[in-house]
Chain A
């Protein structure tokens, strides 16, 4: 049986843009997750979401993985980008658009 950390690592490596969130893209269960999904939808790029409410190990594990205490968490091209406040700040100044548009390094 693989550990939560290994599963998280695999998801982050296999998907260019991943959002760990509470609820689903269609039914977010938290205002912060909802805001994060809205930003990604606005960017018009494909992204994967992981509902941490479906798996307590992933919910706890992703916080340890990034040393970040809250959900949602955005990963782009294997790198932890931040939570919804950082996403909003980066979206407003255009950094997030550049990040998702840049080819994988």
Chain B
């Protein structure tokens, strides 16, 4: 079973409202995606915890309905204020 890219993006944004999400359909088959998720809420979390947060947003679909999601997470770069 496959998922649409905008569905994945919406689920992530519902759970992490400030997230900047970029989804790429790697194989064009609706089953192998790459997602880059940038959020301030990742600050201070380990990479594992950041990814777990995204997996949590997908509510158990990861590993089942969604077979392959290559994940990159990051905290937005601090803007210099001077």
Q: Which residues of A contact B (CB under 8 A)?
A: 31-32, 63, 67-70, 80-83, 85-86, 89-90
Contacts and interface: CB of A to CB of B under 8 A. Distances in A.
Contact of B48 (A31, A63, A68): A68
Contacts, number: 31
Given A70-B63, A86-B51, 17 more contacts: A63-B63, A67-B52, A68-B48, A68-B51, A68-B55, A69-B55, A69-B62, A69-B63, A69-B64, A70-B62, A81-B48, A85-B70, A85-B71, A85-B72, A86-B47, A89-B47, A89-B72
Interface of B: 47-48, 51-52, 55, 60, 62-64, 68, 70-72
17 contacts: A31-B68, A67-B52, A68-B48, A68-B55, A69-B60, A69-B62, A69-B63, A69-B64, A80-B48, A82-B48, A82-B51, A85-B70, A85-B71, A85-B72, A86-B51, A89-B72, A90-B47
A14 to B, nearest CB: 22
